[in-house]
Amino acid sequence: MLKKDEPSSSQTQPSSSQIHFDICGIPDVELNSSLQSKGTEQQLECSKNGPRVQQLTSGMVLLKKFINLKNQVEIIKQCRELGLGSGGFYQPGYKNGAKLNLQMMCLGRNWDPETKRYGHIRSIDDATPPSIPVEFKHLVQKAIQTSRAFIKRTSNSIEDTFPKMSLKETSNPTKDELPKMSPDICIVNFYTTSGKLGLHQDKDESYESISKGLPVVSFSLGDSAVFLYGDKKEDNAKKVILESGDVLIFGGESRLIHHGVGNILHGTAPKLLVDETNLHPGRLNLTFRQY
């Protein structure tokens, strides 16, 4: 049976009634048509529940499915456009000549994995990095605000239960745990399904940025990946799956946490996202920082 409470501007009914039952769900069913149907538009705009927030450790917050499908599509399309133009994707190398197992592009400022330095042009072709699209910056701000509000809420409830234990924190617990940040750098990586990134710390930003614990904000799109964190050895690191639309934030005490990317889980990207963008198998990741 089809739901009747759809907008009256309704289009021709798609051949499968499945779409109507699941119109605001994260698409985990096969869809017959994607691009032309308005049902798809609505699928793109809606998400079943609000984002789930998980605090992984102090200053490290995971916002599950924070970016809705419509915005995921827009981000992928913009990155594709930018990636094809001047300053676009290339396969970077390390000092020893080995190539990183990914394609990279920098926005706002260039980061050179060979010298570990930031600059205004990149040495391989003297290109100036494109600017960070303003829509990306807005999403970063929203993600930080959501995380700060979550930390504040949960630390308030701890204060209600153990009022004496957190007296010294009463001024502003959020401020210390996860500071605000205004990104001027975005590193965009595309990992094919064999892509990986070894455990490392992000420590090439300014002394001021790092010492204040200004967070790194990471968007995941496309195929899911195993994200490793918390230790420099892979065997001892904790693991969390990052799915398309997830936002991971690490700042404050976790600003210099070791982290890396393990296996990319082939075929896990939302089908609709792939239909809309033709994204290759693999994972697109955007990390934002303030120099």
Which residues contact ligand MD6 by CB under 6 A? 187, 189, 197, 202, 218, 227, 259, 261, 285, 287
Closest residue by Cα to residue 133 from 83, 90, 89, 59: 83
Q: Which two tokens stand for residue 160?
A: 């209600």
247-250 vs 216-222, strand pairing mode: antiparallel
Cβ of residue 126: shortest distance to ligand MD6, in angstroms? 21
135 φ/ψ angles, rounded to the nearest 5 degrees: -65, -35
Cβ of residue 5: shortest distance to ligand MD6, in angstroms? 39
Cβ of residue 149: shortest distance to ligand MD6, in angstroms? 24
Q: How far apart are CA 240 and CA 261, in angstroms?
A: 10
Residues facing 286 on adjacent strands: 188, 219
Please list every residue from 194 through 253 that binds Fe ion, using CB under 5 A: 202
Cβ of residue 49: shortest distance to Fe ion, in angstroms? 29
Q: Which is nearer to Fe ion, 202 or 243 (CB)?
A: 202
Contact 107, 285 (CB under 8 A): no
Q: Which is nearer to ligand MD6, 184 or 202 (CB)?
A: 202
* Residue 279 site contact among ligand MD6, Fe ion, none (CB < 5 to 8 Å, cut-off depends on kind): none
Dihedral sign for Cα 150, 155, 157, 158, please. positive
185-191 vs 103-107, strand pairing mode: antiparallel
Cβ of residue 158: shortest distance to ligand MD6, in angstroms? 30
* Residue 37 site contact among ligand MD6, Fe ion, none (CB < 5 to 8 Å, cut-off depends on kind): none
Q: Which is nearer to ligand MD6, 41 or 234 (CB)?
A: 234
Residues that bind Fe ion (CB under 5 A): 202
